[in-house]
Chain A
Amino acid sequence: MLTLFVEAISVNAPGLDGWQNTKSILSGDSKYEDIAMPKYVPKFLPANERRRTTAVIKLALQVADAAMQETDIPANNTCSVFATSEGDTHIVDTICVALLSEEPMVSPTNFHNSVHNAPAGYWAMAMESRQASTSLSGFSSTYSQGLLEAATMVCTENLNTLLVAYDSPPPEPLLGSAPMKTAFGTAQLLCPAQRTTSFARLDISLVKDKTSDSMNDHDLETMRLGNPAARSLPLLQAIANHTERTVILPYLDTLQLSVKYSPC
């Protein structure tokens, strides 16, 4: 059993604009409406770096930044786990098209942005963090993969760790190959010990042959199934409801992630 404490949460998706707004929707206080995401500018990046970021990188940076705005824990002393199934498929598309020509010219910025850990690199630069950072993919289980990896960093290294999970629909023609309906990003700052500002305790373990939780609301269930990062929604809902609950998240075939939420 891995026990850790949540210090901050952020969520950004169409109709979910920040944690306070999301909390009110997930707890049933307000109704979900599919509203386009407002344009986001990562102002904390120097202008030259900001220009190089793509929409997908900005989504990751947006939720990372929003979570760290909610805490006094310094970002430069925080490890990070960036979990994304696809990374930036728009760049993959651009590069694959460029490679079709006789003498391919790949843009150097596109190439360095194509690495799976590109957002983590921008984040570390902007926060001046030299702490450990891991980027991973787990296809539809990406959120659970990220949470488990972050939990092991928190619990075995005793280090505060920011989990950033995000994905964004790919362009045609890759859309059919990586079905995704909506953009979704979420971040959680996870700590090894309870602080006065902690608002959730999570007890995490791997369990066998359980059915993973879904969302009752049709739109939110569509969102959950439409983006790997949105598989976090049942857990976020448990936290929004402020009531102890064990949530089962999808992991690998016969294995699931059991996350017991207790309010602090």
Chain B
Amino acid sequence: MTDTALKITGYSLVSPLGVGIKDTLNALQSSQSGLRRFDYTDAKLDTWIGRVDNIEDQCLSDDLKHFDCRNNRLAQMGLTADKFANQVKQLKLRYGPERIGVFMGTSTSGIRQTELAYKDQDPATHKLPESFLYQYTHNVFSVADFTRQFLGLQGPAISISTACSSSAKVFASASRYIRAGLCDAAIVGGVDSLCLTTLFGFKSLDVVSNDLCRPWDTNRRGINIGEAAGYALLEKYEQSDSNIAVFGYGESSDAYHMSTPHPQGLGASLAMNRALACANMEASQIDYVNLHGTATLANDSAEDQAVTNVVGKNTLCSSTKGWTGHTLGAAGITEAIIACLSIENNFVPASLNTQQLDPTLCANIPLQNQEMKVDFVISNSFGFGGNNCSLIIGRC
């Protein structure tokens, strides 16, 4: 066992698939997508989205009211789903609140709050409303600060924002902090929520699909944007009897383009190979690759070359974005948890919505869920700025 490995001793997920692990697993096993037509009343866009229901009804407690925004409401849903906060209470008794670190990933944090503040600005002075509390809502650190205070933790805390790899990289960061002795256990997570900035921003790049997201399909037209909050508890390998762990991570940069991946997926291959080296594993041990698989023409093509270079053309690979949409900064944690579910429930999720596989792509993509024993999964997350992170999650 390498010293980078950490046991995953609990997790929670709120995504378009529902609130909590039970809903998530039901949707995955019954091939029910969480995507719906764009349903905003105040904006028009021809696309599908992965919206989480009832975020609007969440109330933050009085002492955390200043954090109130869509992103932190979603974070609170993640913290209360699957009795996650109760699990953290047990962890606090074991390690002490000052020895548990918080590692959060987000791409746009509570930017929706700023969008709303601009709508409500004073027409004469352009002043934003007094009620707008930027530091506690929009600032990228807000979600780590909120999570730490909600859970009553006193250890280190960090908010990583590397676009769509953000909440995969938190696993790497947590592993380093624990090895450096800065904490004994970690809460890792990712929260990103729907906002017009990403919806119209990705539209400007012509990568928002007016159809369902269809990874690896001949007719793929791009992404559907989703939102999610996911959390996991990480403890030292020898200190837990959990049967699931993150065995390794690999981080890399494309050094190619701000919003287009390296055409041969060099950065992506490097991330996967570094994750294998970190876990001291061979590619032949991998049973399943949860692809980044955004369903844009360029991304899937680059990742296809990268993944087949690393694991070959036989290992099962699928993107689960047909279920959840692209949850951006929360994609890493969402898909790490799907990897856990795949291992614990012995199945490989299909590439949902994919109808006709692109004949120019070579990875082995299942169009139906596959019942099989899954021991080791690579989960890929690649972001703008060419920022890549691959995780290896496996059975102990």
A interface residues, Cβ below 8 angstroms from B: 2, 52, 76, 85-87, 92, 95-100, 103-108, 110-118, 120-122, 124-125, 127-139, 141-142, 145, 148-149, 151-153, 155-157, 172-174, 176-178, 206, 208, 251-255
Contact = CB atoms under 8 A, between A and B. Distances in A.
Contact of B253 (A106, A112, A130, A206): A130
A127 B259 CA distance: 17
B255 A136 contact: no
24 contacts: A2-B180, A92-B111, A95-B197, A106-B201, A106-B204, A111-B202, A115-B383, A117-B163, A121-B258, A121-B385, A124-B253, A124-B254, A124-B255, A125-B255, A130-B266, A130-B267, A133-B385, A135-B162, A135-B385, A136-B161, A151-B180, A152-B176, A152-B179, A176-B128
A177 B135 contact: yes
B258 A118 contact: yes
Contacts, number: 205
A176 to B, nearest CB: 7
B217 to A, nearest CB: 24
Given A115-B107, A174-B134, A120 B128 contact: no
A95 B385 CA distance: 19
Contact of B256 (A103, A110, A111, A125): A125
Given A138-B141, A174-B134, A130 B254 contact: yes
A225 B138 CA distance: 21
Contacts of B128: 173-174, 176-177
A178 B141 CA distance: 13
A130 B182 CA distance: 27
B161 A137 contact: yes
A100 B201 contact: no
B221 interface: no
A117 B134 contact: no
Interface residues of B, number: 67
A132 B253 contact: yes
Nearest to A153: B176
A121 B384 contact: yes
B161 A99 contact: no
Nearest to B102: A252
Contact of B139 (A104, A128, A139): A139
Contacts of A141: 141
Contacts of A129: 253, 255
Contacts of A254: 154
B258 A112 contact: yes
Given A111-B201, A133-B387, 6 more contacts: A87-B140, A106-B203, A130-B255, A137-B159, A151-B180, A177-B133
Contacts of B386: 121, 124-125
A128 B156 CA distance: 32
Contacts of B154: 253-255
Contacts of B197: 95-96, 99, 106, 111, 114
B145 interface: yes
B200 interface: yes
B29 interface: no
Closest 9 CB pairs of A and B: A121-B385, A177-B134, A111-B201, A116-B161, A137-B140, A132-B251, A124-B253, A152-B176, A96-B118
Nearest to A257: B156
Contacts of A106: 197, 200-201, 203-204
Contacts of A251: 156
B28 interface: no
A121 B162 CA distance: 9
B196 interface: yes
Nearest to B385: A121
Contacts of B118: 96-97, 99-100
Given A125-B255, A178-B135, A255-B156, A95 B201 contact: yes
B384 A117 contact: yes
Contact of B141 (A128, A139, A253): A139
B182 A124 contact: no
A106 B45 CA distance: 13
Contact of B161 (A104, A115, A153, A174): A115
B140 A116 contact: yes
Given A131-B252, A131-B253, A124 B385 contact: yes
B179 A156 contact: yes
Nearest to B133: A177
B205 interface: yes
Nearest to B3: A156
Interface in B237-276: 251-259, 266-267, 270
B387 A120 contact: yes
Interface string B211-234: 000000000000000000000000
Interface string B160-185: 11110000010011011101101000
A99 B158 CA distance: 30
A42 to B, nearest CB: 14
Given A107-B204, A125-B256, A129-B255, A178 B134 contact: yes
Nearest to B153: A252
A215 B121 CA distance: 37
B38 interface: no
A117 to B, nearest CB: 4
Contact of A178 (B119, B139, B180): B139
Nearest to A92: B114
